[in-house]
Amino acid sequence: MSEHKRRIEFGDFQTPDGLALAVCRRLAVLGIRPDVVIEPTCGVGAFVRAAAEAFPDARQILGFETNGAYLEILRTKLASTRNPDRIHLEHADFFTTDWRGKLSDIRGSVLVVGNFPWVTNAVQGAIGGSNLPEKSNFLAHRGFDAISGKANFDISEWMLLEVLRWFEGRSGDVAMLVKTAVARKVLAHAQRQGAAVRDAFLIGIDAKKEFGASVDACLLVMRFTTDQSLACHDYTIFSDLEDRVGRRVGHRFGLTVGDLDAFEASAHLVGASPQKWRSGVKHDASAIMEFTRTERGLENGLGELVELEPDYLYPLLKGSDIGSAKAWRGKYVLVTQRRVGEATAGIREAAPLTWAYLECHGAQLDARGSTIYAKNPRFSIFGIGDYAFQPWKIAICALYKRLRFRLVGPIDGRRVMFDDTVYYLSFDTEEEAVATLAMIESEPARGLLSSLIFWDEKRPVKTSILNVLDWTKLDGAACRQPALF
């Protein structure tokens, strides 16, 4: 195995000594005083040694590691550590170790601390890695979600959920360096499961500086109690290890709320959206299915000039157009169906040039990886239905770090389509679209949505958030008149 592949498979990016010590000292400031410290994937032991310094009263410090060479390095480093007799190391694989059995022999308050691998099961599969749990849909995703991406998970997420089970019926603390998105998923899971968490914290970490990773990361701290009546699933976000103020986050109505104060002011608008927010067209073949009108003519993403009937061509606005308020750039998308699962063979007679084009690129379209294409008519697309062909739309890009809604009408007499980074509502009349946009952009509505969005996420705007805004509950607050795209 190459060194690069091994590091990816095991998420082997060792925690800097200075960061480990700063983390342990911050835990002490939070009032954590463990009797026993456990580092389940200790590597060369940054957290083992930091815990030995930061928690002088800890009775035991236990380090477990699957890499025997790392344990030998750590044993050498521990020679100069204070009270080395309380430190015990063991060669162990996280995924096969009987953790429940080990913890059953431990008395007193336990702190589980460390840095689990920052790698997904999809990446593991791509490199042929085996450092992951036995394959399972462990979050019970169903249908389309299970095959289109939601079933992909970070290995650290699975490991953390396993650690949470260690604290069923016992007090103690967990402190783990993780991706911020993973931390929120774990906290939401703990809330859904009714875990006895009495307090929790997300403390920002500069992952670029510490690990060279361009990802939002944090120290997730969870404090467990044996008294279920003391459980509280609100938590505090601190910007970094030096921040002592923070802001309170929590769960309300089954929602993860990023700003509880702002949420409380608009909570009366929580409900079900009067209309379901939809995502744009999904085809997974932009070079073939998307076109630009140039001086030369209609050109696809491969640089080929093409001649197609207008029947299946629609103006396209991409997420970047919506998010940055750009005007239409002469782009089109080939829409082969009016609803998911509709037969496509009729294109042969209705638009022979279009059919010939699709067949010419059939090998590339047939090679689209997802099973959703294999189980549907040839040349199928998704994110399509009657709603896509209504003339007026309100759209927002899921990727941009701001609430920018756009009113979009027909272009050159044709309904506008979006790519799958856009979410939108559809209307038959301009008047209805304008009135709805005014309500969505009202201060109470924006306040509610903003309180639920975590802007540091890769795709911060989600349909699960947009669909909880019931704008019919607004009391007629004055709204600015929107501008037509």
pLDDT in tens, 129-156: 444 455 454 444 444 344 444 444 589 9
What is the domain count for the chain? 2
On whether residue 424 sits in a domain, the answer given is yes
Q: In terms of domains, do 299 and 415 share one?
A: yes
Asked if pLDDT for residue 453 goes beyond 60, the answer is: yes
Q: In terms of domains, do 439 and 357 share one?
A: yes
Q: In terms of domains, do 209 and 356 share one?
A: no
Q: In terms of domains, do 143 and 40 share one?
A: yes
* Domain range enclosing 323: 278-473
CB 289 within 8 A of CB 362: no
The predicted-structure confidence for 414-438, as pLDDT tens digits, reads as follows: 999 999 999 999 999 999 999 999 9
Q: In terms of domains, do 306 and 413 share one?
A: yes
Asked if pLDDT for residue 386 goes beyond 90, the answer is: yes
Highest mean pLDDT: which range of 123-132, 188-197, 294-303 = 294-303
On whether residue 171 sits in a domain, the answer given is yes
CATH code of residue 185: 3.40.50.150
Q: In terms of domains, do 96 and 196 share one?
A: yes
Q: Which residues contact 291 (CB under 8 A, 6 or more apart)?
A: 298, 299, 300, 301, 306, 308, 313, 331, 332, 333, 334
Look at 47-56, 260-269, 296-305, 470-479 and tell me which has the smallest mean pLDDT.
470-479
- Phi and psi dihedrals of 395, rounded to 5? -125, 155
Highest mean pLDDT: which range of 11-20, 55-64, 455-464 = 55-64
Q: In terms of domains, do 181 and 314 share one?
A: no
Q: What percent of the chain has pLDDT over 70?
A: 88
On whether residue 483 sits in a domain, the answer given is no
Mean pLDDT of the region 383-402: 96
- Last residue of some domain: 236, 252, 268? 252
On whether residue 260 sits in a domain, the answer given is no
Q: Calculate the average pLDDT of the chain.
A: 89
Mean pLDDT of the region 447-475: 93
Cβ-count burial of 93 within 10 angstroms (0-12 exposed, 13-18 middle, 19+ buried)? exposed
Q: In terms of domains, do 239 and 282 share one?
A: no
On whether residue 54 sits in a domain, the answer given is yes
- Phi and psi dihedrals of 270, rounded to 5? -70, 135
Q: In terms of domains, do 302 and 219 share one?
A: no
Measured CA to CA in angstroms, residue 81 lies from 21, 67, 77, 481 at distances of: 14, 21, 8, 68
Q: In terms of domains, do 418 and 377 share one?
A: yes
Q: In terms of domains, do 193 and 283 share one?
A: no
Nearest to 285 by CA among 384, 380, 143, 152: 380
On whether residue 265 sits in a domain, the answer given is no
Q: In terms of domains, do 318 and 429 share one?
A: yes
Burial per residue of 228-267, b for 16 or more beta-carbon CB atoms within 10 angstroms, e otherwise: eeebebbbbbbeebeeeeeeebbbbeebbbbbbebbeebb
- Higher-pLDDT residue of 146 and 330 is 330
